Amino acid sequence: MPKVILIQGSSGSGKTTLIEKLIQHYTVRHFSIGVIKSYAHELKIDADASKDSSKFHEAGAQKILMHQLDQHTLFSYQSPLSLNQIIPLHFSDFDLVFAEGFVNESTFPRIMLMHESLPLKAFTNIQNILCFVADKPCIAPVPSLPVFTLPQLDAVIELIDQIPIEKPHCFLLINGKKVPMNHFVEDILTNTLLGLVHTIKHEDDEIQSVQLFISTSPAASSDNTNS
């Protein structure tokens, strides 16, 4: 699973600019990077794609992918997804994901943007804030947390690098015996199963473990059903 960093702040505070600079830095280090941007307003999509998608949706389709030569746009008509659902579903094979916006989200590490010309909202929740990034030197709204300016990007990157990567552990038992797996196979199994489970799971409880039993014996399958 990737390391996820929330970039939050008022509109015009410099969130997109910061993400662009972070992407440039981590691309040089050969990280695979994803970006998720939350919009408070309706996002305007190409007229042709939007028109065709609406027709397909009205006919009964819930997911439509518009394919072009070098890109595609996915229209998914379903209940709003949380970041905890979006990440394993679409970004499980990335190293790093920057999520812009999501003002009510605080379960991931957060970088808060400030700008002198914009009013600063009161911080009622300081959970997981790594630091503040301001357009010019100032006093941090939370005394215990550092505040940097954009030219001090190295200090922000250092904080990001210190965040541990939480990697799910997966093991394989065949006939009750543990079989060693290399990291590549373990990652494929873990990401595939978690992605599948998140598509069919509707409860709000966080997934702590997943168990999958596959039997090639009818008798064993019957025993598992009755247990």
CATH number, domain containing residue 17:
3.40.50.300
167, part of any domain: no
Q: State whether 147 and 89 are in the same domain.
A: yes
**Higher local confidence (pLDDT), 90 or 124:** 90
Q: State whether 157 and 179 are in the same domain.
A: no
Q: State whether 85 and 176 are in the same domain.
A: no
Q: How much is the average pLDDT of 101-114?
A: 91
Strands (DSSP E) along 57-167, which ranges? Answer: 63-67, 72-76, 96-100, 110-114, 129-134, 147-149
* Residue 107 near residue 166 (C-beta atoms within 8 A): no
| pTM greater than the 0.85 cutoff | no
Q: State whether 153 and 54 are in the same domain.
A: yes
Domain that holds residue 181: 172-226
Q: How much is the average pLDDT of 38-61?
A: 73
Report the alpha-carbon distance of residue 112 to residue 150 in Å, rounded: 12
Report the alpha-carbon distance of residue 227 to residue 223 in Å, rounded: 6
Q: State whether 16 and 108 are in the same domain.
A: yes
Cβ contacts of 134 within 8 Å, gap of 6 or more? 113, 114, 115, 116, 147, 148, 149
Report the alpha-carbon distance of residue 96 to residue 35 in Å, rounded: 9
Report the alpha-carbon distance of residue 51 to residue 37 in Å, rounded: 23
Number of domains in the chain: 2
Q: State whether 39 and 116 are in the same domain.
A: yes
Q: State whether 176 and 146 are in the same domain.
A: no
Band of residue 227 on the pLDDT scale cut at 50, 70, 90: very low
Give 72's Cβ-side CA count (13 Å radius). 8
Report the alpha-carbon distance of residue 119 to residue 131 in Å, rounded: 18
Report the alpha-carbon distance of residue 212 to residue 116 in Å, rounded: 53
Q: How much is the average pLDDT of 24-46?
A: 81
Q: State whether 9 and 36 are in the same domain.
A: yes
Q: State whether 177 and 145 are in the same domain.
A: no
Report the alpha-carbon distance of residue 212 to residue 197 in Å, rounded: 11
Q: State whether 47 and 131 are in the same domain.
A: yes
**Higher local confidence (pLDDT), 74 or 178:** 74
Domain boundary among 110, 136, 161: 161
Q: State whether 142 and 189 are in the same domain.
A: no
Domain boundary among 140, 161, 182: 161
